[in-house]
């Protein structure tokens, strides 16, 4: 047998001891032996798998996984460790609860180190509820109970831990401490009870004698105390409670009044705002109506201008002139003034010619009323049209129509405006003949 074989034999020897200890639930002992076995032969798959199982049984799932993964690495086929790993990895609930347990435990440890024992105990209770085999959590919980002086609770916890791992040295040490302390407490109680009982007998006798004398006196004093108490109570109610209640009620009413005033003033402000808004909107509406009216009249004006131009193009100069004449020149906007002037000038040029011809026709036909009104239209546009032609024939028409007064006025105008002309000479001779 070579050295390597001898070493493997040692490894198997410790594995067998570990197995026996695990079978009797001496898990700590088993861990110790199995670790020794692996120190001789790290590739002892049986020992490593069993060590993983023992760790799993004490709630150390991460350590169990470590051993099984290493085992699977040494023997890739026909290895129970592969099955264990798959089983754990496939159980999502187990993984989640394991992590949660670890967090509870770690938090508890941290809290304990910071002196927050109650918090730590709560966390540990949660940890052992999630993982009822977690030896470390039980031991820490027992230690905290012991530190708090609640030894009975510690005893109960250690008993549970002992059922999982029988020969765990930490559990055993804590149990011994708990048992010693509880035993000491029992002895102290016994002594105290004895002392209390002997002292009680003496005092009992003395008390009995004095009791009867005191009874009457005590009854009288108790009645007096009750009456005084009642009087004081009534006085307190009258002088302290009632005024305070009245003050409270008055303060309440005051507050309510103040709140109501605040509400009213805020409402008034709101009403003023709304009134201003209404006024503003009314003003806006008026402006808009005005704008709309002016826009409508502007549109009518431009329609007239357009129609006058259409008539002008069609050769209806009289119609065009009449229309353009009816346009209110003051209503034409500055932008349109140029266009209006151009259109009007063009139309009037032909319009005046037409009017003059029409008026002449009326005159020749001796229709002097029509002639007068037509000449008046020409003069309304341009009084001096054709160097006073319309003015002169208007005067002639008045004279022939028998209206000498108007004729004289117009003859005089012709003489004044166009002196040294044929029209002026004729006008003068007619004037002379009329006088």
Partner 1 sequence: MIDYEEELEKFLPALEVEEAEATISQHDCTDLTDIMRQMINEVKRNNQ
The residues of the shown chain that bind partner 1, judged by CB under 8 A, are 3-4, 7-8, 10-11, 38-43, 60-63, 65-66, 69-70, 95, 98-99, 101-103, 105-106, 109, 112-113, 136, 139-140, 143, 146-147, 170, 173-174, 177
Nearer to partner 1 (CB atom), residue 46 or residue 389: 46
Smallest distance, partner 1 to C-beta of residue 156, A: 18
What's the min distance (Å) between Cβ of 38 and partner 1?
Answer: 7
User: CB of 52 within 8 A of CB of 83?
Assistant: no
Rg (the chain; Cα; Å): 65
DSSP structural state of residue 106 = H
Structure tokens at 92: 């999502």
> How big is the CA angle at 293 (ends 289 and 296), to the nearest 5 degrees?
135
For residues 386 and 394, the answer to whether their CB atoms sit within 8 Å is no
Closest CB to partner 1 among residues 182, 230: 182
CB of 113 to partner 1, least distance (A): 6
| Triad 327, 329, 332: Cα angle to 5° | 95
Q: How far is the CB of 105 from partner 1 (least distance, A)?
A: 5
Region of 420 (left: φ > 0; alpha: ψ -120 to 50; beta: rest) is left
Phi-psi region of 160 (alpha: psi -120 to 50; beta: other; left: phi over 0): alpha
In angstroms, give the least distance from the CB of 141 to partner 1: 11
CA distances for 256 relative to 247, 250, 251, 259, angstroms: 14, 10, 8, 5
Report the nearest approach of partner 1 to the CB of residue 23 (Å). Answer: 25
DSSP 332: S
Nearer CB in complex with partner 1: 19/69:
69
The secondary structure of residue 115, as a DSSP letter, is T
Closest to partner 1 by CB, 3 or 210: 3
Nearer of residues 82 and 95 to partner 1, judged by Cβ: 95
- Residue closer to partner 1 by CB (options 36, 353) is 36
User: Which of 86, 21, 31 minimizes the C-alpha distance to 54?
Assistant: 31
- Dist CA 322 CA 320 (whole Å): 6
Identify whether the C-beta of residue 15 lies closer than 8 Å to the C-beta of residue 39.
no
Residue 69 near residue 85 (C-beta atoms within 8 A): yes
Of 43 and 386, which has the nearer Cβ to partner 1?
43
69 vs 318, which CB is nearer to partner 1? 69
Q: For residue 187, give Cα distances in angstroms to 122, 156, 174, 184, 397.
A: 32, 21, 20, 5, 159
In the complex, least distance from residue 163 CB atom to partner 1, rounded to whole angstroms: 21
Contact 134, 101 (CB under 8 A): yes
């409670």: which residue's tokens?
A: 241
How many C-beta atoms surround the C-beta of residue 324 within 10 A?
A: 25
Shortest distance (Å) from residue 161 CB to partner 1: 14
- How many Cα atoms sit within 13 Å of 428 on the Cβ side? 11
Of the pair 61, 356, the CB lying nearest partner 1 is at 61
Least CB distance from residue 221 to partner 1, whole Å? Answer: 53
User: Considering beta carbons, is residue 51 or 347 the nearer one to partner 1?
Assistant: 51
- Rounded to a whole number of angstroms, the minimum distance from the CB of residue 60 to partner 1 is 8
């Amino acid at each position: 047998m070579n050295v390597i074989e001898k070493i493997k034999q040692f490894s198997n020897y410790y594995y067998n001891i570990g197995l026996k200890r695990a079978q009797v639930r001496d898990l700590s002992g088993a861990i110790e032996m199995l670790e020794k076995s692996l120190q001789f032969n790290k590739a002892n798959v049986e020992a490593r798998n069993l060590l993983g199982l023992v760790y799993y049984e004490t709630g150390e799932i991460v350590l169990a996984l470590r051993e099984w993964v290493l085992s699977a690495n040494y023997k890739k086929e026909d290895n129970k460790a592969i099955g264990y790993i798959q089983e754990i990895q496939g159980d999502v609930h187990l993984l989640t609860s394991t992590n949660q347990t670890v967090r509870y435990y770690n938090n508890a440890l941290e809290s304990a180190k910071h002196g927050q024992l109650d918090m730590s105990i709560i966390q540990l209770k949660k940890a052992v509820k999630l993982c009822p085999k977690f030896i470390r959590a039980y031991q820490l919980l027992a230690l905290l109970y012991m530190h708090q002086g609640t030894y009975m609770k510690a005893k109960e916890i250690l008993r549970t831990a002992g059922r999982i791992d029988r020969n765990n040295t930490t559990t055993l040490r804590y149990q011994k401490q708990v048992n010693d302390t509880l035993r000491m407490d029992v002895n102290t109680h016994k002594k105290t009870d004895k002392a209390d009982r002997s002292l009680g007998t003496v005092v009992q006798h003395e008390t009995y004698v004095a009791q009867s004398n005191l009874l009457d006196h005590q009854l009288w004093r108790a009645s007096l105390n009750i009456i005084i108490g009642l009087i004081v109570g009534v006085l307190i109610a009258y002088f302290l409670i009632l005024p305070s209640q009245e003050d409270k009620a008055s303060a309440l009413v005051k507050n309510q009044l103040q709140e109501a005033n605040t509400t009213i003033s805020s409402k008034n402000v709101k009403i003023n705002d709304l009134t201003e808004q209404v006024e503003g909107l009314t003003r806006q509406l008026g402006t808009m109506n005005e704008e709309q009216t002016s826009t409508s009249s502007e549109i009518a004006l431009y329609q007239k201008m357009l129609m006058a131009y259409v008539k002008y193009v069609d050769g209806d100069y009289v119609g065009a002139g009449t229309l353009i004449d009816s346009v209110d020149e003051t209503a034409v906007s500055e932008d349109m003034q140029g266009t209006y002037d151009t259109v009007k000038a063009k139309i009037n040029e032909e319009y005046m010619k037409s009017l003059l011809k029409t008026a002449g026709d009326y005159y020749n036909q001796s229709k002097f009323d029509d002639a007068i009104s037509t000449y008046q239209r020409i003069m309304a546009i341009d009084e001096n049209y054709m160097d006073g032609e319309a003015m002169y024939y208007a005067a002639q028409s008045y004279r022939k129509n028998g209206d000498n007064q108007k004729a004289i006025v117009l003859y005089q105008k012709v003489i004044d405006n166009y002196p040294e002309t044929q029209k002026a000479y004729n006008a003068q001779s007619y004037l002379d003949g009329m006088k």
